[in-house]
Amino acid sequence: MGKSDDLVVYDARLSSRFLLGTARYPSPAILAEAIRTAGAEIVTVSLRREAGGSRAGESFWRLIRELGVRVLPNTAGCRTAKEAVATAQMARELFGTSWIKLEVIGEEDTLQPDVFGLVEAARILSDDGFCVFPYTTEDLVVAERLLDAGCRVLMPWAAPIGSGRGINNLFGLRALRAHFPDTPLIVDAGLGAPSQAAAVMELGFDAALLNTAVARAGDPVAMARAFSLAIEAGRAAYLSGLMEPRDMAAPSTPVLGRAFGDGFEA
């Protein structure tokens, strides 16, 4: 979209609005090609999945360095604020970044965030110098509490992680965008199709983060490209100004000056 439409989050200016996860790809080579094709500048990494000192961890880090992308470690799997804070501190030491995608899971079936633990952990980590990217719901009160805790970006879900359901609460996401017009909002979780990614971008959200829909596709590289195009199209549509829905039809061809009658009259 050009420099005038760059996404600014914390200390980074990004030309891409597509954030990509790195889990469950068929191979490191396919992961690398998917990241390149997506044009992603930020990738998420689970501390529990990648150990820097292991052979797998060394191979992963070599790949990330070659791609030149920024790593956003996450606290996936954490169930309490205390556990999430400890994981974030280990991630900062291992990955060498103060960025952290903060997850505190409160419900097993939906993997819904525990918003109470989330706010608690966000405050502790922000006070400790972290740049916190909180995985949250579309709740306006929780969003306000997270911003008060020091977060400068919010990552609301569209639907439960890995569900591919798309937008579950359209009203809630619209309200979130309207109430926080100056806060970067990145839709995280639940997007299963490029059309769903385009839809959230058309609402005015600033970026989309996804993993499963690309990693588990029949052709992850082709799917990464499809999502990249959809995110770009949705952003362009939002900036261009979408027409408002109407209850009645409206002719697209002007009626004024139209010839009437079935034939010519003398």
Against a cut of 0.75, is the pTM above it?
yes
Is 164 marked as binding a ligand? Answer: no
250 against 233, higher pLDDT: 233
Q: Which residues are catalytic?
A: 101
Distance CA 20, CA 100 (A): 14
Chain centroid to CA 84: how far? 20
134-138, 143-147, 194-198, 247-251: range with lowest mean pLDDT: 247-251
Taking 50 as the threshold, does the pLDDT of residue 2 lie above it?
no
Whether pLDDT at 265 is above 70 = no
Domains, the chain, in order of start with CATH, read: 7-239 (3.20.20.70)
For residue 190, say whether it is annotated as part of any ligand binding site. yes
Long-range contacts of 54-60 (CB under 8 A, 24+ apart): 59/28, 60/22, 60/28
> Angle of helix 55-67 relative to helix 28-38, nearest 10 degrees?
20
pLDDT in tens, 47-78: 765 555 555 567 777 888 889 999 999 999 89
Q: Is 162 annotated as a binding residue?
A: yes
What does the pLDDT read at residue 1?
43
